[in-house]
Amino acid sequence: MEKTRDISKNAQERFSARETGKLYIRTFRLLWRHYPKYLLSTAFCKGSQTASPYITLYFSARFLDELAGARRPEMLTRWVILLLAVSALFSLLALILYRWEKVEEHSFNMLHTKEIYGKKLLEIDFEKMDDPATLDLLNQIEQSNDHMGNGMNTYIIHLEQLFRAIFQIGGGILLSYSLFTRPVAEQYQGSIGLKLGMIGAAAVILLTVLFRPFFSRRERADILAYSEHGKAANRHYWQYGVGLYDKTESALDMRIYRQDIYGDEELKVFSINEIERREMLFLRIQGFCRAGDAVLSHMMTGFIYLYVCLKAWFGAFGVGSVTQYVGAVNSIANGAAAVLNVVEEAKTNAFFLQRIFQFLEIPNEMYRGSLTVEKRNDRDYEVEFQDVGFCYPNASEYALRHVNMKFKVGKRLAVVGQNGSGKTTFIKLLCRLYDPTEGKILLNGIDIRKYDYQEYLSVFSVVFQDFRLLSLGLGQNVAAGAGYDAGLVRDCLEKAGLSEWLRKRPAGLETKLYKDLYSEEGVEISGGEEQKIAIARSMYRNAPFVILDEPTAALDPVSEYEIYTRFNDIITDCTAIYISHRLSSCRFCDEIAVFHQGSVIEQGTHQALLKKGGKYSELWNAQAQYYI
Ligand code: ADP
C-alpha cells in the first residue's frame, strides 16, 4: 500500500507534482480495471473532436496558397472537393465516436459509485463498516464529488482535457513542423533584427503559456475554500430543506411541533446568507481569473501572428500557410497551457483522490479460510462456543465473557436477557460478523475461521431486528432473487401467516412492495407485514440454522406468540435460535439461555428455570404481571 497522508489535513493543501502524478496514475489504473471502454471511447472521441479543425486548416491553406499563387482552376476545385469530402467523413466519424463515448459515459456515471464504493462496502470486514469513521469517509468522498465535483468528476474532466491537449499538441506539431524548418529568403538570413524579433516573439509566447496556469491555480484555491463551506451548507440543506418535509414517518411530528419554522431559521442563518456572501466573493475572483486568462490567451495569439508573419514577410512561405501555421502554433501553445493547467488543478484534486484510495484500501483483517462446508442431507451441523469472550473495538469492557454453549442439532434454543446483556453480540459472533477476542467457535469441530466465509454464511438463515426489504415484487423479496419457485414462495408466505393478505392482492407474487418506485401499483405494508415477509424469506432460504433476532418487535405479543409457535411447527428439522425480550414467546423452546452482563448465567427448560427461582423467574414474573 502507498504511504497515505493524514486525512485531517486541510483540503486546500496542494500535493507535490510527483505525489499528484502517482495518484493520477493509480486512479487511471482503477478506472481501466472497471471501465476500459469508457476511457478508450473518451480518448478517441476527444481525439476526433480536436483533430477536425486541422483538416480545415490544412486544406484551406492549400486552397489559399493556390489562390495567391498559380491560381489553377482544376487545383482549386480539387482542394475544395477534398476539403469537403474529408471534413464530411471526419465529422461522421467524430459523431459515431461521440455516441460511443456518451453511452459509455452514461453507464460510468450510473454505476461507478455502486460498482467501486458499494462493492468495497460489501467486502469490507463488518468491524470496519461498523466503525462510523468508515461511513463518514465515504460520505465525505461522495459529498465532495456531488457538490463541486472534487475527486472523481474532476479527474474525468482532467483526463478529457489531457486527451484533448495531447491531440492538440500532436496535430499542431504535425502542421507546424515546416514552419521551423523553412528558412527566410536568402537576403534576410543574416539579419540580426529579424532574428531578435523572432526570438522575442517566441519568448513572449513561452512566458504567456507558463503564466496562464497562475489564474486557474488562483481560481481553484477559491473553489476549494468555497466547496468546503458549501459541503456543510449542503448537509444543512438536506436536513432542513427538502429533507424536513419528505418523510411520511415524521410528518405528524413536524405538523404538531412546526419543525419547519425553526428548521427554516437554522437554514437561513447557517447556509443561505453565508452561501450568498461566499458565492459573490467566489464569482468576483472567478471573473478576475477568467478575464486574466483571456487577456493572456489573446496576447499569446498576437505574438504567434507576429512570429509567423515575420517569417512569411521575409519570404519563408506563402500567404496560405500563414493561417495554417498560426492555427497550428496556437494549438500547441493552448495544448501546453492546458497540460500545465491540469497539473496545477490536479495538485489540489489529489487530496480528494487520496481520500478515495484511503477508503478503497481499508484492509480486511479478518482471516478468511477456504474450507468448504460439508453439504449434509441430515442437517447434522453442530455449533459450539468454547469459552468465547468478545470486546468491541475501542470499547473498554467485554460485551461477552466465558460463553460456553453447544447447539443441539434440531433443537430450539431461546436466548433471553435484558437489553445490553449481549444477545445480539452473541448472534454477530455466530454469523461471523466479528471474530471472538477470546476462545473459539466451532462448526462440526472445526474453527469457523477456517471455512470460506460465504460457505459458512450459507448455513444460516437470519431475521435480524433491522432487516431490509426492497422495492421489488413480493416473490423476488421472499426468494431474494429475480427468478423464484412460486409454489415455494407461496408456501413460505402461508407459513409466515400471510396467505389471507396475499389472497387480497390481485397481482399475487408480482405485487410490488412500497410506493417509492411504483407509485401506482406499489403497496405500502405495515411493520408487522414486513416482518412476516422477512420471516418467509428466511424460510425460503432453507438453511440448517435459523435465527430470529427479535424480528417481531413491531408485533403485539399475541401476534409474536403466534409467529413463534408457527415457526416452531414449520422448521422441524432445523436448529433454531430465538432471541426475544418477551419471555412468553420462548417458553416452548427446548432450552433457554439467560444472558446477563455478557455471560450465560442460567440454562435449562422453561419449567426448570422457573423452579430454580433465579434471574429467569425474576424476569418472567416481572413480565407476567403485564399480561395477566
Ligand atoms: P442485547 O442484544 O442483549 O441488547 P448487545 O449484544 O446489543 O445486547 O450489547 C451488549 C453490550 O455491547 C452492550 O453493553 C452494548 O452497549 C455493547 N455494544 C453493542 N454494540 C456495540 C458496538 N458496535 N460497539 C461498542 N459496544 C457495543
pLDDT digits (tens, 9 = 90+) for 67-107: 888 889 999 999 999 989 999 999 999 999 999 999 999 99
**pLDDT, position 584:** 78
**pLDDT above 90: percentage of residues in the chain:** 37
Q: Average pLDDT of 562-590? A: 78
Instruction: Please compute the mean of the pLDDT values over residues 22-26 and round it to a whole number.
Output: 97
Confidence of residue 269 (pLDDT cuts 50, 70, 90): low
Tell me the pLDDT band of 2, cut-offs 50, 70 and 90: very low
| Per-residue pLDDT at 449 exceeds 80 | yes
Query: Residue 194: what pLDDT?
Result: 86
Spatial distance between the Cα atoms of 256 and 273, rounded to a whole number of angstroms:
28
**Does residue 462 have a pLDDT over 70?**
yes
Distance 392 CA to ligand 1 centre (A): 8
The number of angstroms, rounded, from the C-alpha of 449 to the middle of its chain's C-alpha atoms is 29
Three-class SS state of 247: coil
**Is pLDDT at 416 greater than 60 in this prediction?**
yes
- Kindly tell me if the per-residue pLDDT of 627 is higher than 60: no
Buried residues in 295-319 as b, exposed as e (16+ CB within 10 A): ebbeebbebbbbbbebbbebebbee
Which pLDDT band, with edges at 50, 70 and 90, does 418 fall under? confident
Is pLDDT at 8 greater than 60 in this prediction?
no
What is the structure's pLDDT at 10?
58
Radius of gyration of the chain (CA): 35
The tally of CA atoms less than 13 A away on the side-chain side of residue 376 is 15
Q: What is the pLDDT of residue 244?
A: 75
pLDDT of residue 14: 78
Determine the distance separating the centroid of ligand 1 and the alpha carbon of 399, expressed in angstroms: 6
Q: How far is the CA of 398 from the centre of ligand 1 (A)?
A: 9
Please count the CA atoms within 13 angstroms of the CA of 183 that sit on its side-chain side. Answer: 7
Is the per-residue pLDDT at 564 higher than 80? no
Asked if residue 420 has its Cβ within 6 Å of ligand 1, the reply is yes
Q: For residue 592, what are the β-bridge partners?
A: 414, 604
Mean pLDDT over the full length of the chain? 86
pLDDT in tens, 611-625: 988 888 888 888 776
Judged by average pLDDT, the poorest of 65-79, 338-352, 389-403, 543-557 is 543-557
Q: Which of 425, 426, 547 to mutate to test the pocket of ligand 1 (most atoms within 8 A of CB)?
A: 425
Q: Whose CA is nearest to atom 15 of ligand 1?
A: 420
Question: Cell 418535509 maps to which residue?
Answer: 245
Task: Please report the atom of ligand 1 found closest to the CA of residue 427.
Answer: 6
Query: At residue 12, does pLDDT exceed 70?
Result: no
What is the identity of the amino acid at 54? Y
Q: How many angstroms separate the Cα of 215 from the Cα of each of 150, 205, 291, 296, 513?
A: 18, 17, 9, 10, 54
Terminal CA-CA length for the chain: 63
The highest-confidence range among 54-58, 266-270, 513-517, 555-559, by mean pLDDT, is 54-58
Q: What is the mean pLDDT of residues 595-609?
A: 91
How remote is the CA of residue 395 from the centroid of ligand 1, in Å?
10
Average pLDDT of the residues in 241-247: 75
How far apart, in Å, are the Cα atoms of 231 and each of 187, 245, 265, 481? Answer: 66, 21, 19, 37
Residue 522 has pLDDT above 90, yes or no: no
pLDDT digits (tens, 9 = 90+) for 102-148: 999 999 998 888 899 999 998 899 989 888 899 989 988 998 888 77
Query: Is the C-beta atom of 417 inside 6 A of ligand 1?
Result: yes
- Choose the weakest-confidence range: 21-35, 86-100, 499-513, 517-531: 517-531
The strand pair at 438-443 and 446-447 is best described as antiparallel
Least confident of 73-77, 307-311, 312-316, 526-530: 526-530
Q: ∠ CA(92), CA(94), CA(100), 5° rounding?
A: 105
Cβ 392 under 6 angstroms from ligand 1: yes
* Statement: residue 485 has pLDDT above 60: yes
pLDDT of residue 294: 92
Ligand 1, residues 424, 547, 601: which to mutate, most atoms within 8 A of Cβ? Answer: 424
Distance CA 251, CA 383 (A): 46
For ligand 1, the distance from its centroid to the CA atom of residue 576, given in whole angstroms, is 22
Atom 7 (ligand 1) nearest CA: 424
What is the reported pTM?
0.80
Q: Is the beta carbon of 8 within 6 A of some atom in ligand 1?
A: no
Q: How would residue 228 be classed by pLDDT, with cut points 50, 70 and 90?
A: low
- Cα 434 to ligand 1 centroid, rounded to whole Å: 13
Q: What is the DSSP letter of 407?
A: P
> What is the whole-number distance in angstroms between the Cα of residue 425 and the centre of ligand 1?
6
Q: What is the mean pLDDT of residues 564-582?
A: 78
Tell me, using a 6 A CB cutoff, whether residue 430 lines ligand 1.
Answer: no
The stretch 570-589 carries a mean pLDDT of: 80
C-alpha–C-alpha distance, residues 184 and 474, integer Å: 82
What's the pLDDT score for residue 628? 45
What per-residue confidence (pLDDT) applies to 483? 87
pLDDT band at 214 (very low <50, low <70, confident <90, very high): confident
Q: Taking 60 as the threshold, does the pLDDT of residue 5 lie above it?
A: no
Whether 425 lines ligand 1, by a CB cut-off of 6 Å, is: yes
Predicted pLDDT at 532: 86
Q: So what's the pLDDT on residue 263?
A: 75
What is the pLDDT confidence band of residue 315, given thresholds at 50, 70 and 90?
confident
Q: Measured in angstroms, how far is the CA atom of residue 527 from the centroid of ligand 1?
A: 24
399 lines ligand 1 (CB under 6 A): yes
